[in-house]
Structure formats: structure tokens, C-alpha cells
Structure 1
């Protein structure tokens, strides 16, 4: 919206296309269903094999289920339309969800590390290794299909909650591969210490995943600017209009799947107010074509104005 529209009553906030909202919900349902199925399969495998590496992947799936449930609630809240108390919408519920996930994940990694360290000192043989191997192959196939679907949703929605969930499952594929190797080495070749060694490796990977999710969530909560490539794209779109003399004070941020873009638009000082408003609408439409889930706020300035405000490029 242009600055003349910004105070005209309660805005509905940025619009997320219905198809994008549907995909985000579907992605959270698929993630939750996958986690529940894998928990049941891995729990049976752990009870039969007594493998600490199997325990590591079972624990990871339990956390995935908890994270997916948090995501489900967060996405539902984030998609709630703007209201009088939250005029910019509820998109940051996704970032809060991400911080909660990172805390759960880090705690589980510490538990797994200490459990594995004990098994490293006192190794135990893995029994019924074939069952564990079969479950891991099934788990990897199911997870791969889920990740492909999540990646498609992320490309179309930009959802940080679905992105964080997908990051879990991408890591799960690598972790499951490590567990598969541990089961083969321990049950088929008698290398008992391979089981806790691989489990410790998975624990470190889980900690790294927690850090990545926490960092992305923190950036959103602290209103980190959109990437430089996207900021340059916005500038190029704005300056492509021949009636625009210049622009300055571009500021951007993200809130869940939404983007907020605001800047000062410099134009001919002799331009009438109605013409300035029309130009702002043209520029806003051009920016929205490239960023359809954004809310654009434009302040009109006469060319060459210097408001003495500190800007960062």
C-alpha cells in the first residue's frame, strides 16, 4: 500500500494465496503422519535389537513428531488473518515454533551423547540386526518421499516452519544411513563399538541442526533484512519505472511466509498528488508481482529530499 493508504483503517495484512496455505497445512499433516509411522517401526526395532544407534534414530523421530505437532499449531496460528491487536499478522508464530524445536532437539542430543558414551565404555552386541536394517531402509525411503514434497511446498510458500521441518528430515536421511552402517558393522562383522560411535556422530549432527533452526528463527524475530539478492531485485523493479527519479531507505523483513517491504519513492516535485499516488500504485503492483505474499508500504518524496535519517544502503 502507499503511505496515503497506510492509516486508512485496519489492514488485512499480506495475503497468502489459498493454495499456498493449503500446501503448508498439508505439509504439516504429512510430516506428523510420517513421524508417527516411523516411531512405531523404530520402537519395535529398538526393543528387538537393543542398539543405541537405533535408540538415537528413535529419539530423533520422537522429536520430529513433537516438532511437527508444534509446527502444525504454529502454522495454523501463523495463517490466521491480521486482527486489531496484530495488524501485521501472526507469521512470527513460526519463528517461535522454530526456537521451541531447537531447544527440544538440543536437549535430546545431549541425552543421546551421554547414553552413547556409556555404551562406548561398555559395548553391547546388537541382536536381530536384520530387523533393524529393514526398518532403516523403510525409514529412509519414506523420509525421502516426504522431503521431496516438503521442498516443493517451500519453493511455493517460503514457510520457515516447513523449512525447519524439512531440515530435520534431510538430516534424518543422513542419520539413518549412519545407523544402517552401524547395524551392519555391529551385527554382521561384530564391531560392537561402531554402534555407539555412530550414535555419537548422530548426536553431534542433531546439535548442528538445532543451531541452524535457532539461528533462522532468531533472525526472523529480530527482523533481519531479506537477502541482498532480493533487495537488489526490489531496487531494480522500482527503478525500472521511467517516472521514478530515485528511491531510498529500503527496509525489509519477514514474518512467517510473509514479507514486509517499505521504502521512500522519489518523484518529480511538480507532480500532482493524484499522479504521485498512481505512480506509487504502479510501483507497488510491480513489486507484488515478484513478491506476491508481501505487504508493500511506499512513502512518496519529492526528488532530492534529505530527511537526515541514517540508512544502511
Structure 2
């Protein structure tokens, strides 16, 4: 399933979970369930923004963006991280108010049933989105999926904790659970924001992708042919590699260019979405620049 389709589904599920969790909070008066509903509003805003960014990232390269628009996805994960942090602060404020003024919880059975049903929806969608994010190398999908998993975990914790309230009579458990929800999603929000910053700063490709590149180049290795000054970077779903290919000085330009084409095509076949740029050099010529070379 394509990223845009999954994100549209995420929007629909977010609307449904908002309704169910808000109903659970209204029925019970539980601040922890209300806090859980607040996070679903964040899910909705994040899914809408992610859908916009994925649409932009899919645009082809143009004169103003010769390397494409792939980095738009990093804005999505960064925006989602900031939303999560904001939701966490709101939940902490609500929990503090309930600590000061404890209130009994009503109709707990219906409230927990609605919360559990909404968590099941989020869990199924998050599992599918995370699998698709790995297939499509989409950080926007991964960010939304991990956020939904966080929602599932926190909802499960809230449900388990609230079951203890009628058994113990400890009303302070409700705001304590809300505070724990806030701390958990705050951690996730900061992690997503950090991933976004790393992506915007041109990080190297993943180790598995680098291994595919090295394995492909090894197929062309020869005593008279060598590769060096290999650097990589990633931008959303796109991957880029630049390197030097040294060959005998006596080769004709046509023969050298033909081999370069074979190498580039092999690299792009091995790594979908890869853009390869190879500079041709005679074997006895070394080129130096200020770029930091990827570790071997």
C-alpha cells in the first residue's frame, strides 16, 4: 500500500479514535483518558501534515530543486515531534489540576471498552504503516507509525492502571497515569525531532544500504580498476552516492564511459531510489577535496 493511501487511512482512524477516546473521557471523567484523547488530536494533525509532506516529496526534480523534494518528509517528522511535545505539556498541566482536586471516576467499564477499541484500531494501522515505511524508506510513515505505537502503549498503561482505581480507592492514580502518559510521549516526541534534524543535515545512508553499494562495486573490482572517495547521503526516500573510479590512462573515453554506465546501472538496480554519480580518473591521478569520506 502506498504512503499516501496509508496516511489517508491514518487520518480516518485518528478521527474515529478521537470520537471514541473523547467519549471514554466524558463518560468516566478520567483525566488520564482525556489526556489519551488529547494525543489523538495530535495524531490527526500529524497525519494531515505528513500527507501534505509526502505529496510534496513525491514531486519530480525541477530547476529550483535539482535533487528532488525528498527532504520534505523530514519536516513531517519534526512537526510531529513538536506536536507531541506540546501535547505532553498540556497533559502535565491537566494532571496537576486533578492532583490538586481529585474526582471520582464513573462508568469505568464503558470508558475502558471504548479506549481498548480505539487502541486496537491504532495498533493494526501502526503495524501496517511501520512495515510499509521499511519497504518504501519513508520517514514520514515511520514517524506516524511509531507515534501510533506510542499511543497504543500509553492507552494500555492507562487502562491497566484505571482498573486499580475502584479496587484500591486511590483517586490519585488517575492523574499519576496521565503524568506517565505525558513523559512517555515526550520522549517519543524528542526522538522524532532529533531524527528530523539528522535527516536535514545530510546523514549517510543506512549501514545495510552501504553494504549493498560496497558489494556491487566489488563485482567490478580489478587490478586496473579501483574506487575511492565514496560518500553517501539520504533525503527522504532517495539515496545518493558519489565516488571516483580509477582506470588505465590508455583507455578511450568511450570505453571508460561505458564501464561507468554499467557501474551506475548496477548500483541503481541494487538500491532502489539511488542516484549514483561517478567521476572518471586515470589510475595514476589522485583527486582530493574537503569532503569527509564515509568509513569503509
TM-score normalised over the length of structure 1 = 0.89
Q: Which runs of 5+ in 1 are unaligned?
A: 1-21
Quote how far apart the aligned CAs of 1:185 are: 1.5
SS in 1 for 2:242: strand
188, 194, 199: which one aligns with 1:220:
199
- Residue 245 of structure 1 pairs with residue 225 of structure 2: yes
- The aligned residue for residue 37 of structure 1 is 16
TM-score normalised over the length of structure 2 = 0.93
- The aligned residue for residue 254 of structure 2 is 274
Q: Distance in 1 between matches of 2:65 and 2:120?
A: 42
User: For the Cα contact (< 8 Å) 1:110–1:203, is it kept in 2?
Assistant: yes
User: For the Cα contact (< 8 Å) 2:162–2:174, is it kept in 1?
Assistant: yes
| CA pair 277-133 structure 1, distance change in 2 beyond 3 A | same
Q: Distance in 1 between matches of 2:168 and 2:18?
A: 27
Quote how far apart the aligned CAs of 1:191 are: 2.4
Q: Which runs of 5+ in 2 are unaligned?
A: none
78, 91, 96: which one aligns with 1:117:
96
SS in 2 for 1:295: strand
The number of residue pairs the alignment matches comes to 292
After superposition, give the CA deviation of every residue in 1:208-253 in whole Å (9 maximum; x if it has no partner).
1111111111111110111334323312211221457221121211
Two-structure CA RMSD over aligned residues (Å): 1.6
User: For the Cα contact (< 8 Å) 1:220–1:253, is it kept in 2?
Assistant: no
After superposition, residues 87-236 of structure 1 pair within 5 angstroms as 87-236=66-215
After superposition, residues 8-23 of structure 1 pair within 5 angstroms as 23=2
User: For the Cα contact (< 8 Å) 1:28–1:72, is it kept in 2?
Assistant: yes
Q: Distance in 1 between matches of 2:15 and 2:184?
A: 22
Quote how far apart the aligned CAs of 1:80 are: 1.1
Bigger relative CO (Cα 8 Å, ≥ 6 apart) = 1
User: For the Cα contact (< 8 Å) 2:42–2:84, is it kept in 1?
Assistant: yes
Q: Distance in 2 between matches of 1:30 and 1:41?
A: 17
SS in 2 for 1:308: coil
Q: Distance in 2 between matches of 1:32 and 1:268?
A: 57
